[in-house]
Amino acid sequence: MTLTLVLLRHGQSEGNAQGVFTGWQDVPLTELGLDQARRAGHLLADAGLLPDVVHTSLRRRAITTANLALDAADRHWIPVARSWRLNERHYGALQGKDKRQVREEYGDDAFQAWRRSYATAPPALDPALAAQTDLAAGHARPTGEPTILSEALRDVVARALPYWQDAIVPDLRTGRVVLVAAHGNSIRALLKYIDRISDEAIAALEVPNGIPLRYDLDEVSLEPRVPGGVYLDAGAAREAIAAAAHIGR
């Protein structure tokens, strides 16, 4: 039996459109992002790839993307699970800052390390500022979500893999089609494990917004039948990945 996993990065968010480090900030989708989410659902339906269960982060951009995609695919009724372990990487003191300005202020090397390296975390967010941010948001921190002040990608891998093993893999092993709607870096964390990507090579991996990525996995080893998976719109994925190289310039 082949196990089927679909990974979906949220549609364009206001943070993406503004060119800022968003991280754990809770921002909505843009109009383009809403359209991308709906189109993701149509791509799933057109491919006959109908999810049986969905896992999302606790951030509205991922939740909204999942909701719209599933509605477009007429799968709005399927079971859902959510976890902070699928949240975007926490960008620490960089959260809310313009990427171009960060590059200009700190230089290319620091910018690229903070944005894409495996082991380098951005400067930590001040704990008092983190508390003020939560208060200003007008809501309590979601149940079970810890206070994190900065993360490298390796930290995201460390927190995402227990959820992969304990929640996603058991759903896959039942034979259900599993949709994971999350973020660029939490999906990169899963892909690093699934595709056995090296610490060095992961820096070059980009995940485009709103394009479902299909993985057919061996039922025993969970190794992908096609390394790298298959985007349901390969052309759009290539264009988006190429454009990502200019972020912050």
Residue 139 among the catalytic residues:
no
Active site residue 55: no
* DSSP line for 91-159: -GGGTT-BHHHHHHHH-HHHHHHHHH-SSPPPPPPPHHHHHHHHHHTTSPPPTTPPP-----HHHHHHH
Residue from 186, 184, 200 nearest 118 by CA: 200
The phi-psi region of residue 78 (left if phi > 0; otherwise alpha if psi is between -120 and 50; otherwise beta) is: beta
Query: Active-site residue among 10, 55, 90, 183?
Result: 10
Q: How far apart are CA 149 and CA 217, in angstroms?
A: 35
Exactly one of 55, 76, 88, 90 is catalytic; name it.
88
CB burial readout 16-30, b (16+ within 10 A) else e: beeebbbbbbbbebb
* Cα–Cα distance measured from residue 77 to residue 71, given in angstroms and rounded to the nearest whole number: 8
Q: What is the CA radius of gyration of the chain?
A: 17
Residues known to be catalytic: 10, 88
